[in-house]
Amino acid sequence: MITNEHGISSYPMVPGHEMVGVVTQVGCKVNKFKHFAVRFPDSLSPEGVAPLLCGGITVYSPMKYFGLSEAGKHLGVVGLGGLGHLAVKFAKAFGMKVTVISTSPNKKEESSDRFGADSFLISTDAMQMQVAAMGTMDGILDTVSGLHPLSPLIGLLKWRKLIAGSISGGLKETQEIIDFAAKHNIVADVEVIPMDYVNTAMKRLAKGDIRYRFVIDIGNTLTARLVLNLVGL
C-alpha cells in the first residue's frame, strides 16, 4: 500500500493498523466487548502482542483451517520475517516439526536458537531442496510477498498437493489466538520506536533491517511531547 503496488493507494496514509490500548472509560450501557475489540492478557506485553492482531492471525488461521496444527506433523515455513517468525513460534507450540526455508543463510542459526526450528533449507540450494527434503512436509506456509518460484516448494510436500491462499481471520479466531498466545507465552519479536522515528523505520523496513516488527509507542511519545510543551510555556 505504501508504494502503491496495487494501484489503489491514497496519500497521505497511515499504514499501521494493529492498535493496543487500555480502556479507561465506557458508556453506562456497555457491559461487554463489542465490535472489533479483543481482550488482552496482563501476562503479555502490549507491544509484543499487538502484531498478533494481523501478522499472527494471518499465519494462525490457515494453520488451523488446513489442519497444520497437529503435533508431530511437519511444517515448512518460507521466509523468516514478520510473519514467518510467528509461524515458527505457533507451530512449535502446536508440537510440530518445523523447517524454515529461506534465501538467507545467515538466518539459519537464528531460526533454531531463537525460535526453535528443527531444520533449515536454503531455497536456492537445489541439492537441499530436491534431495534432502523432497516429499517430507505435510504443509508449507509461504510468507514471502515477493515473486519467487513455487515449483521447488511444491516438491517438498507429501501426497495430494494443494495450493491455497489465505488473508486473515475473523474476530472470534483473533481472540482465540490471543488466548493461545497467553497460554504458551508467545509474542512477536519487536523493536519499539517513537512516532518521530517512523520515516527512518520505513527506510529500514524496505531494506529488511528489522527483527521482526516495528511497534510505535504512541502513548509515551505524546507524553514526552506534552512535557516539552509545558516546559516551553
pLDDT, tens only, 179-223: 999 999 999 999 999 988 988 998 998 888 999 999 999 888 877
Q: Are 214 and 161 contained in the same domain?
A: no
pLDDT of 139 > 70? The answer is yes
Q: Measured between alpha carbons, how far is 141 from 48 in angstroms, rounded to an integer?
A: 22
Beta-carbon contacts of residue 171 (< 8 Å; ≥ 6 apart): 36, 38
Q: Which three cell numbers stand for residue 97?
A: 516439526
Q: Are 148 and 67 contained in the same domain?
A: yes
33 belongs to a structural domain = no
In this prediction, residue 1 has a pLDDT band, given cuts at 50, 70 and 90, of: confident
pLDDT of 121 > 80? The answer is yes
Q: Counting Cβ atoms within 10 Å, is residue 218 exposed (0-12), middle (13-18) or buried (19+)?
A: middle
Minimal CA–CA distance to 79: which of 7, 140, 144? 144
Task: Return the sign of the alpha-carbon dihedral for residues 167, 48, 94, 103.
Answer: positive
Q: Are 153 and 103 contained in the same domain?
A: yes
Q: Are 77 and 183 contained in the same domain?
A: yes
Q: Are 56 and 163 contained in the same domain?
A: yes
Residue with cell 508440537: 95
16 belongs to a structural domain = no
149 belongs to a structural domain = yes
| pLDDT at position 227 | 60
Instruction: Give the pLDDT mean for 49-76.
Output: 96
| pLDDT at position 36 | 72
| pLDDT at position 136 | 93
Q: Are 59 and 76 contained in the same domain?
A: yes
> The domain spanning residue 50 has which CATH number?
3.40.50.720
232 belongs to a structural domain = yes
Q: Are 162 and 121 contained in the same domain?
A: yes
Q: What's the number of domains the chain is made of?
A: 2
25 belongs to a structural domain = no
User: What average pLDDT does the chain have?
Assistant: 90
* Domain assignment of residue 214, given as a range: 191-233
Q: Are 153 and 229 contained in the same domain?
A: no
pLDDT of 15 > 80? The answer is no
210 belongs to a structural domain = yes
126 belongs to a structural domain = yes
Q: Percent of the chain, pLDDT > 70? A: 94
In this prediction, residue 125 has a pLDDT band, given cuts at 50, 70 and 90, of: very high
Q: Measured between alpha carbons, how far is 141 from 63 in angstroms, rounded to an integer?
A: 8
Strand partners, 99: 76, 119
Minimal CA–CA distance to 164: which of 232, 68, 83? 68
Side chain identity at residue 93, one-letter code: A
Which phi and psi angles does 142 have, rounded to 5°? -95, 110
Q: Are 211 and 163 contained in the same domain?
A: no
In this prediction, residue 131 has a pLDDT band, given cuts at 50, 70 and 90, of: confident
Q: Measured between alpha carbons, how far is 42 from 40 in angstroms, rounded to an integer?
A: 7
Q: What are the distances in angstroms from CA 136 to CA 23, 59, 125?
A: 47, 21, 17
Q: Are 162 and 205 contained in the same domain?
A: no
| pLDDT at position 225 | 61
Q: Are 183 and 198 contained in the same domain?
A: no
DSSP code at position 160: S
pLDDT tens digits, 69-104: 999 999 999 999 999 999 999 999 999 999 999 999
Q: Are 121 and 80 contained in the same domain?
A: yes
Higher-pLDDT residue of 189, 127: 189
27 belongs to a structural domain = no
